[in-house]
């Protein structure tokens, strides 16, 4: 049983992948968790397994869903210590061939919903002088990603926003961290049409959801601005920071096209 400083948590995208593993980890440690997603059955399965799990079914692609989660975060009688913005998805392919409505939804979920929930979290936490905000980004945020162009762009926003928020609230007792995982085997591959990545990339390129969650929780507790799971991705992001942009574009294109 891990000893976490959070007395409560809320996790979006908790029905699968990193969000589910994180929610289960917190619940197993005795932290009351509000699990948020569209799939009620999967959330209820977590609630049935652990005490202290509250199910909040919400579609964050809708204003109704976003407002429901904001209301829960803002409830002063039931304060939330840790907010995890994990809900998001990607779309693989050349932009000119993709469904523009799907791309608009991707931006709405990855950017607009995350921003609204981040603002609500900080608005509640700063006056209390206590809180933790973990925004799930990606290593794709550090360089262009032809073939995942909109996804990489939304995650660049998430990383930049989180870095700015970290600086804004660091003197108020509130921690903000951007989690930037690399390739992690979850349902993301099927949703984003990147199942071929399992064959295209060697096993050394992959991290596990448990490894990602370990890095996420330790980093947000330590108030690190960025959390990059896996030594291979720590090296990659360090190199990306000193690589000319034209070279990053070219390298990303070669990786994507294989």
Beta bridge partners of 57: 37
The 3-class secondary structure across 97-134, one letter per residue, is HCCHHHHHHHHHHHHHHHHHHHHHHHHHHHHHCCEEEE
- The one catalytic residue in 151, 157, 197, 233 is 151
Whether the CB-CB separation of 71 and 65 falls below 8 Å is answered with: no
Q: Are 162 and 225 in contact (CB under 8 A)?
A: yes
In sequence order, the β-bridge partners of residue 33 are: 9, 53
Q: Would you call 157 a catalytic residue per the annotation?
A: no
- Spatial distance between the Cα atoms of 175 and 46, rounded to a whole number of angstroms: 27
| Phi, psi angle pair for 28, to nearest 5° | -65, -25
The enclosing H or E element of 192 equals none
Q: What angle do CA 156, 161, 166 make, to 5 degrees?
A: 130
Strands 33-37 and 174-179: unpaired
Query: Phi-psi bin for 56: left (phi > 0), alpha (psi -120 to 50), beta?
Result: beta
Nearest-5° Cα angle at 246, 201 to 159: 65
Active site residues: 151
């Amino acid at each position: 049983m891990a000893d976490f400083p959070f007395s409560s948590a809320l996790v979006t995208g908790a029905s699968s992948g990193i969000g589910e593993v994180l929610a289960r980890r917190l619940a197993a440690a005795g932290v009351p968790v509000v699990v948020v997603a569209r799939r009620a059955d999967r959330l209820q399965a977590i609630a049935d397994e652990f005490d202290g799990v509250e199910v909040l079914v919400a579609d964050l692609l809708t204003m109704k869903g976003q407002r429901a989660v904001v209301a829960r975060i803002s409830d002063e009688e039931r304060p939330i210590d840790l907010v995890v913005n994990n809900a998001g998805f990607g779309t693989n392919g050349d932009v000119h061939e993709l469904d523009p409505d799907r791309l608009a939804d991707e931006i709405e979920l990855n950017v607009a919903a995350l921003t609204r929930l981040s603002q609500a979290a900080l608005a509640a936490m700063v006056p209390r002088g206590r809180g933790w905000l973990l925004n799930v980004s990606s290593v794709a945020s550090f360089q262009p990603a032809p073939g995942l162009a909109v996804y990489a762009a939304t995650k660049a926003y998430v990383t930049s926003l989180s870095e700015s928020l970290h600086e804004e609230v660091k003197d108020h007792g509130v921690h903000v961290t951007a989690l930037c995982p690399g390739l992690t085997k979850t349902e993301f591959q099927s949703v984003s049409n990147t199942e071929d990545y399992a064959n295209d990339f060697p096993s050394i390129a992959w991290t596990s959801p448990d490894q990602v969650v370990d890095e996420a929780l330790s980093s947000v507790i330590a108030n690190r601005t960025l959390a990059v799971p896996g030594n291979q991705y720590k090296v990659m992001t360090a190199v990306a920071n000193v690589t000319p942009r034209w070279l990053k574009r070219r390298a990303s294109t070669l990786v994507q096209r294989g």
